[in-house]
Structure 1
């Protein structure tokens, strides 16, 4: 499979946050920036309208066949497959009682009374399509509920259907391709100041007006203008896109949103955006550097135990210190995901990055925390390389716990490995896995695994096959390697020492997610880098599939 080039802006983008200064009536970002802004607004609106159209079709079927009908459930399931980033869908009667929850993982919400929730009251009261503000959802995360009213055959109001998703997932689908390979960055905020998308993911969820880090009078003035005015431009000071120093940045904004949503879309550019660090010389192959990296991390962990946390973190944060050796440097996190040491991106120190994902959706910080809790090990992720002008490259990280509260790590970049998985490829993968999950929930584990293991079945489609494991690592479905069925592979490691099943099981336990592994490709007969997506069927087992990268 040939993967379309997709280099997402991750961890090198800049948000309008922190101390700074602003000037009014500044020139816009030029034709390029204006074009990016217009495309971003149009793309976000297109995504919202697409969800609305799917919700409308679901509401039509539910109205004709009943709020708990099989046809209605199938329509809801199809609506979610149309938008793979949606997490769940609820069907709610006009009295606020949940009568359907899809997928089955959320069946516990059925019969719950959510009439006291403001968004429920508003949907029942107004009986029109609505896009909510971000709020804590019954499903256990902060997200947006996009609802559509359901009317019966006689025109009577029955309730509503509501599709839930994380706003950054919807917005990122439209916005991320616009900033790739450009000097522009984008962030999106509600008019209450909550950041719902940012090319620097650490800023998502923060509030421009209440977060202690953003209390500079100049920035408060800028934020007030942005939320008060539907469009405009200004300048401010903040970190450059490498998070090394403060620079002057210019911004232009406009408004996106349908069905009561009003989102400020802000495009920014640093005035020094053209400055790119010089590239380093040729690098040794990853295999030759892996042992050196592991020894380096072990040395740092020992240093931390001997010198104590405060002195060790100070040493790790020194970009000219003994724990920065050419491309190798030590980073440190507490087990909750808060940055303790990151020598080349000091702006992140003190920031919680537990929810940060790389450009392919891999939650690598939470993965590191899980690996450290298991005694240490390796993980793949995409990360900007400071020695290569902060270009994003595949990185093999290695972490070790210092004690039960924090861990240290380092990483090496693996040259010559294709890692570009575009939005369409990733969403097709997610759709394939969620369809297998739905099949398993409908037919049960035995029948589902029989289908997954059948080489003549659609689920066993070459490299796109479906696999399944118990959460304890016991193999349930692996169509091209049947000799492993029934065996426990929880301790399986790939050629770089990555705990394959451990990371997949951890992603499933968190509700589903992406993981990089190196694994056998039945289409080529070789071990190749693979981006997997896994989804829990229930608390006991999960399904997954993957797509292989082209070197």
Structure 2
């Protein structure tokens, strides 16, 4: 289903529900940060607490309201996944989006709801980028990473907004924030290395914890075959030679299978959940990038969401 919406330097839109705005909307300032996004959502939650649910939802649905600032606006869901408010998608209000997943299988609405229920915070997911002024959720090739922020607005509902990762980079950091650009470069170099020097040399170098594919910030490369067998990894030596294709995260996403499928389709970004060793191995959303090396194996790497936002982003246990 195609939905039309405004393209801005820091385009913010509804999580997995699409958006559309009038042509006269002005773009958000290009230096909008993830911190600005969080402040905006927290302000909306505070407004809901003082104005009450009915008045707040009416304001969030108002295209000319205080929380519809050009391309920057707030939307709302209840904890069952029902869309409660969106200033530019009134026809979708009342619809159930609770089981929506992004193109790689990440249950973004469920993650947003659980994060809000635990006090709020940043999330990440994939969503289609604009093409010719419209968006098509069925167009797999248009999905790109977004960063969102969610906050509880009451006992039964929550508010949020989001920004494309490329727009969150800010001036002078195109096309992505520094850690993400470095991670993409790492994967591209690894794929080239594998093609030029062969699998044996590549696996040895990728598995070297002090090698060229582990950067000073701790980002590293890994390699799998298309059956999900781990071929090389600097920190999971004991798992090399083991198929991890059936591995599931706490929300039920088979993340190794999803990574494999992304590589098999030509490569690109994926958002998935993985334990963060810097946060006592607590589960955190990770923005990954993978590329095929040849028709037998592929490489990938990732950046934790907290590296982009500067805030702890450990996920709560999913609601049953």
Give TM-score, length-normalised by structure 2. 0.52
The CA distance in 2 between the partners of 1:333 and 1:548, in whole Å, is 18
Structure 1 position 433 matched with structure 2 position 205: no
* Residue 541 (structure 1) aligns with: 297
Contact 2:13–2:71 (CA<8 Å) still a contact in 1? Answer: no
> Given the alignment, which residue of 11, 26, 33 partners 1:9?
11
Check if 1:392 corresponds to 2:170: no
**2:285 corresponds to 1:529:** yes
Match of 2:197 in 1: 443
* Alpha-carbon offset, residue 271 of structure 1: 8.7
Q: Are the aligned partners of 1:477 and 1:485 in contact in 2 as well (CA < 8 Å)?
A: yes
SS at match of 2:140: coil
Q: Deviations over 1:288-320 (max 9, x none)?
A: x7xx77xx9xxxxxxxxxxxxxxxxxxxx7634
The alpha-carbon distance between structure 1 residues 540 and 177, as it changes in their structure 2 partners (threshold 3 A), is farther
CA contact (8 A) 2:269 2:288 kept: yes
Kindly report which structure 2 residues correspond to 1:229-244, keeping only aligned pairs within 5 A, or say none. none
Out of 235, 245, 248, the residue aligned to residue 490 of structure 1 is 245
1:166-185 C-alpha deviation (Å, 9 max, x unpaired): xxxxxxxxxx6569859xxx
CA spacing shift, 1:541–1:351, aligned 2, 3 Å: closer
Residue 508 of structure 1 aligns with which residue?
Answer: 263
* Equivalent residues of 1:432, 1:545 under 8 A apart: yes
**Distance in structure 1 (CA, Å) of the matches to 2:202 and 2:222:** 11
> C-alpha separation between the residues in 1 aligned to 2:219 and 2:74?
39
Deviations 1:423-459 (A, max 9, x none): 2221111111111111111110111001111123132
- 2:287, 2:302 within 8 Å by CA — same for their partners in 1? yes
What 5-or-longer segments of structure 2 have no aligned partner?
A: 1-8, 38-58, 83-90, 104-133, 170-175, 307-311, 313-320
Aligned to 2:225: 470
Structure 1 residue 543 displacement after superposition: 0.6
State how far apart, in whole Å, the 2-side matches of 1:332 and 1:546 are.
20
Unaligned runs of 5+ in 1: 1-6, 23-27, 37-175, 183-241, 249-269, 284-288, 297-316, 335-347, 361-380, 394-419
CA contact (8 A) 1:515 1:533 kept: yes
RMSD: 4.8
Give the CA deviation at 1:516.
1.9
Tell me how far apart the structure 1 counterparts of residues 60 and 143 of structure 2 sit (CA, whole Å): 18
Higher helix share: 1
Question: 1:204 corresponds to which residue?
Answer: none
Counterpart mapping for 1:130-279 below 5 A: 177=31, 273=70
Q: CA-to-partner distance for each residue in 1:96-121, whole Å, 9 max, x for gaps?
A: xxxxxxxxxxxxxxxxxxxxxxxxxx
Q: Which has the higher contact order (CA 8 A, sep 6+)?
A: 2
| 8 Å CA contact retained: 2:11, 2:72 | no
Residue 193 of structure 1 corresponds to none
1:486–1:8: structure 2 CA closer, same or farther, 3 Å change rule? farther
How many Å separate the matches in 2 of 1:177 and 1:356? 24
Once the two structures are TM-superposed, the CA of residue 11 in structure 1 deviates from its matched residue by 3.2
